[in-house]
Amino acid sequence: MKLTITPEAQQWFKDEVGVTPDNGIRFFGKIYGKTDVHDGFSIAMSVEAPDQPMVKEVIDDITYFIEETDDWFFKGYDLLVDYDTKKDEPKYVFTKNEEDLQQ
């Protein structure tokens, strides 16, 4: 699994969420909603420090991560976190990762 944060999304998190190097952004699955690869579940985020990250990306001293406990939601996919200018919010794009499924 690979986690990618675009510069535009990075700026949105700094401006809107107030994320600092002392904490990070956790991405996880939640009940209700829909993603392009899940029905009945959507993606959520929270501001917290990593505990047992399955994958993390550090940009400008800020950690973006997915915990091992959320493997069920992300297994088999890479996640691109981008910025949607029309909605003024993050946009999540899943890409199939066949290599991840073989492990």
* Residue-wise pLDDT tens digits, 64-101: 999 999 888 888 889 999 999 999 999 999 888 876 55
CATH topology of domain 3-101: Hypothetical Protein Aq_1857; Chain: A; (2.60.300)
3-state SS, residue 99: helix
Return the domain boundaries, the chain. Answer: 3-101
The pair of structure tokens assigned to 34 is 């829909």
In this predicted structure, what is the pLDDT of residue 65?
96
Q: What is the pLDDT of residue 20?
A: 80
Give dist(CA 6, CA 79) in Å, integer: 11
Residue 33 pLDDT > 70, yes or no? no
Q: Which residues contact 30 (CB under 8 A, 6 or more apart)?
A: 41, 42, 43, 44
DSSP assigned state of 86: T
pLDDT band at 19 (very low <50, low <70, confident <90, very high): confident
